[in-house]
Structure formats: structure tokens, C-alpha cells
Amino acid sequence: MSEYQPGLEGVPATKSDISYLDGKQGILTYRGYRIVDLAENSTFEETAYLLLDGELPSTRQLAEFDAQLREHRRVKYNIRDIMKTMPKTGHPMEMLQTAVASLGMFYPNDIPVQIRSPGDESDKYVHGQSIRILARMATIVAMWQQMRIGNDPTQPRNDLSYAANFLYMFHNGVEPDPLVARIMDVSFILHAEHTINASTFAAMITGSTLAMPSYVIAAAIGTLAGPLHGGANEHVIQMLQEIGKPENARPWLDKKLAAKEVIWGMGHREYKVKDPRATLLQKLMMELAESRGNVSPMFETALALEEACEETLAPKGIYANIDYYSGILYREIGIPPDQFTSIFAVARTAGWLAHWRQQVAQNRIFRPTQIYTGYDVRDYTPIPER
């Protein structure tokens, strides 16, 4: 294809069997399994195994995989020392990219990452590193939450699930309510993979150079940090705070649309219906509200704004996406807005690693072309003659 497509929209970049998206019908699958079924029946550990290895695990396989994740939750003290030197006012994604990029220095390796055949030395290395990185991502994010307010990080507990341990560390040793742990678990599942998005593509490009995994994930983290990708749910919270209360939603929306401004959390390049992940998160938000006996004012405002958007934007194929409800849900379980994207990164690491493994198993370095729009060849003009 020689025709220029801004943003590479619609241009196939790879062949993959990891996930599938039908934006017209609102279908998202991981390895053929509907995201709705995984959210209702699976766990993040099982879903991560599915993404990395291609099939749902047996009881024994899941137990072994889970045990490996728990075994590798801790990070070397050197990582903590690096984190201590970072300004507490810095964004958590800046910390996360730096900490993850440094992992390769403390966990060195001389095994090539290009897989020649399934089960070879490189394949075993890639699989092992995937488990180690995935295990440590949640630890690093939770450590920073405590360290930036002056506390020593809480040590991980191997008797807790991935999601429950994350919340336990994040909230300084307070074991989470089972419903809240389940909400976190489902959120991890929903954010784990989403075909060839910007951050996944960044991971694939970096991986295609046969770079070490710490570089691959650091590149993906940097890409996810942008507000047009992973940072949108922070803006949703700011937007809802600006609206204030449900009755303000419609006039606020009319004003923003008249000014042609962005309505954060609304619309998705791929979906022409409501994002199925947004529907699932909205359901979890309702469960949390019912368990607490009240609906938060921000959630009420979000519902009112979505209703107004359905009247004005839905006819144009613009509906709520995953960012619309994820931030509200995180806020309700005590997570500050600047940590939202870091949590997204923790979950999406499973998908990034799955694509990394697939890339290095069928590798060809990415080298796209361009359409040149500059000058024809011209003679150099010396400075005195300019």
C-alpha cells in the first residue's frame, strides 16, 4: 500500500490471534473468548495465562502460573532506592517507566530474545521474563503510592490474589473488601488487551529490534501515558468535577459541543456502539453503590451526562468508552486520579507481553516508508551567500 493513511488507520501491521474486536457489534474477545464471559467467570491470573499461552489453563497449570506470579512479586532494594530519589510530585507514569526500564540492569540476561521454535531457550526466557515483569508491575505501582507520601512500601503477601495483593500494598496493609478486590480483578481483565492499539504497537516496534523486555514495556508505558490513550480517565474525573451535579450535565454538554470541545470518555475509533467494557464497569459501579447503600454524586452526574450524550452523540456513533467509568470506579475505591493510568499499565502489561512474544516468534523489524514532501535535491549555499 502506497497511499498515505494518517495514524495508519486501517493499515494491517501484523497477523495475530491474541484478541479480536468488532466495533460495529461491540464484541471484544481474548483468544476467542468474549470479554463479558471472562469478566464474569475468570480471574486476572487466568486471563493473563490465556493471553500469554493461548489457551485457558488446567487447574494444575493455573496453580503453577499463579505460584510463579506470587514468587516474583518482590523487587530488589535497588529499585526502591531509585524510586526514593524521584520527586514525589512527579506523575506516577514517569516513575513507572523509569523503574521498569531499570529492571534490565538488575535482572541481566545474555539469552537472545528471538524465538526460533516453540519451547527453545529463547522461548523459555521470554515466557519467564513475562511472568517476572507482570508480577512486579503491580508491586512497583503500589510501592510508589506509599513512598510518595513518606511511608515505607508495604511488603507483598503471597496468600492474596494478584488484585487483592495490589490493593493491600496500595492502601498500606489494609486488606481489601472482597467486592472491591473483585472489582479490581475485573478491571484488570478488561484493560489487559485491546488488539493493536498505540502502546501495543510501540511494544511490538521495540520488540522487533530484539530489545530486552524492560525496554519493550518501558516504551509501551511511555506511549500509554498520553491523554489520547491511557490518560483519558483522569480527564473524565476533572470533567465531572467541573459539571458538579446531574442537573448541570445537559447545559454543560450543549456548551461544550457548541464550542467543538472534547467530551472525555465519549467515542472510540474502533467502536460504533457502546464499549462493552464500559457496560461492564458501569455494572460494577452499580454493584458497589448497592453494597454501600448509596450512589455517589459523581456517579449520578456521569449517568446524567451519558444520558444527554446518548441523545446528541449516539446518532453519530459516539458512545461511552472504557475510560468513562473506570476513573469513577477507581476513585470510589480510594485510588487517586494520577494513578489511574498506572493501573491501566499494570493490566495492559499482559497484552503487551503476549504481543511481544508473538512478535519475536515471527520477527521482522518494523521499517515503514514515507511519502516525501520536501525539496528536490538542491545545492548547498555557503553562509556568506545566504
The grid cell for 286 is: 452499580
Residue 373 vs residues 4, 370, 376: alpha-carbon distances, Å: 12, 9, 9
Scan for cell 474502533, then name that residue: 270
Q: How far apart are CA 355 and CA 361, in angstroms?
A: 10
Length of the chain: 386
Residue 78, Cα to own-chain centre: how many angstroms? 26
Q: Which residue among the candidates 123, 268, 275, 355 is catalytic per the annotation?
A: 268
Burial call 28-48: b when 16+ CB within 10 Å, e when fewer: bbbbebebbebbeebbbbbbb
Cα-flanking dihedrals φ and ψ of residue 34, to 5°?
Answer: -60, 140
Name the phi and psi angles at 150, rounded to 5. Answer: 95, 5
- What pairs with residue 29 in β-bridges? 20, 34
DSSP 62: H
Query: 283 CB contacts (<8 Å, ≥6 apart)?
Result: none
The answer to whether the beta carbons of residues 192 and 47 sit under 8 Å apart is yes
Using CA atoms, how far apart are residues 168 and 174, in angstroms rounded to an integer?
Answer: 5
| CB-based contact 158:169 (threshold 8 Å) | no
Q: Is 323 a catalytic residue?
A: yes
From the candidates 123, 171, 323, 355, give the one annotated as an active-site residue.
Answer: 323
Q: Is 26 helix (H, G, I), strand (E, B) or coil?
A: coil
Active site (annotated) includes residue 91: no
- Active-site residue list: 268, 323
